[in-house]
């Protein structure tokens, strides 16, 4: 009889979650303070941002997908993303504590993707979906907190452009937080750093 998998968090899981949160939080901070704001300053009403911003936005989803892919337990995607946002806020994000709202929305969306398969599927399909979904709910908060950006996109490209703007966030997440995150974690796992996790054993079996 096959032993059922335990979803109880171990100290190793907590350590991995903390590590992912710190690394992703630093990446979030760099993207917010040193990429977004310089680009924003190039144009008065964000016309260029209607393309550049959503294409790079998937970088903000990696906390959830990376944590879930490594830990593979319920809650990992949510806490990986939310705690990454918390780290960004503590380090001095230009967006302030509002990043916690985005962290929660993005984390819940990624979590939903893995929950669909009852936390038993961690491949390019589930990772791609977990990267894609966060791009949708954040638009609601974005519309209320940064209406000038959405209005500028409509003025610049019309409602068709707005639809593309929204969809590009999800496509970016699919590629960056989904496909590329899985690819690079698999490569890192070959070094043996994740041998105590399921991902480490899985990757080694494919060699």
**So where are the chain's domains?**
13-205
Q: Under a CB-based contact definition with an 8 Å cutoff, are residues 66 and 24 in contact?
A: yes
Cα 42 to Cα 61: distance, rounded to the nearest angstrom = 25
Q: Which of 22, 104, 118 is nearest to 73 (CA)?
A: 118
Q: What pLDDT score does 61 carry?
A: 96
Q: What pLDDT score does 2 carry?
A: 42
Cα 207 to Cα 90: distance, rounded to the nearest angstrom = 41
Residues of the chain with pLDDT under 70: 1-5, 39-51, 207
Q: What pLDDT score does 50 carry?
A: 62
Per the structure block, which two tokens stand in for 147? 């209406």
Q: What pLDDT score does 44 carry?
A: 55
Q: What pLDDT score does 4 carry?
A: 56
* 48-99 residue pLDDT tens: 666 677 888 999 999 999 999 999 999 999 999 999 999 999 999 988 899 9
**3-class state of residue 152 by DSSP:** helix
**3-class state of residue 37 by DSSP:** helix
């Amino acid at each position: 009889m096959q032993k059922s998998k335990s979803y109880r968090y171990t100290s190793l899981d907590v350590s991995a979650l903390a590590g992912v949160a710190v690394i992703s939080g630093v990446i979030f901070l760099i993207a917010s303070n040193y990429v977004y704001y310089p680009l924003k300053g190039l144009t008065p009403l964000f016309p260029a941002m209607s393309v550049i911003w959503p294409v790079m936005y998937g970088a903000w989803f990696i906390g959830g997908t990376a944590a879930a892919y490594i830990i593979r337990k319920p809650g990992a995607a949510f806490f990986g993303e939310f705690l990454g946002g918390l780290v960004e806020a503590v380090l001095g994000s230009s967006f302030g504590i509002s990043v916690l709202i985005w962290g929660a929305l993005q984390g819940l969306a990624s979590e939903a993707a893995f929950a669909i398969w009852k936390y038993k599927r961690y491949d390019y399909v589930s990772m791609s979906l977990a990267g894609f979904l966060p791009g949708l709910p954040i638009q609601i908060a974005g519309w209320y907190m940064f209406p000038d950006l959405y209005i500028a996109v409509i003025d610049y490209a019309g409602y068709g452009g707005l639809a593309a703007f929204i969809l590009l966030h999800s496509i970016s997440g699919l590629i960056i937080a989904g496909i590329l995150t899985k690819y690079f974690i698999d490569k890192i796992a070959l070094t043996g750093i994740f041998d105590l996790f399921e991902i480490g054993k899985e990757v080694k079996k494919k060699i």
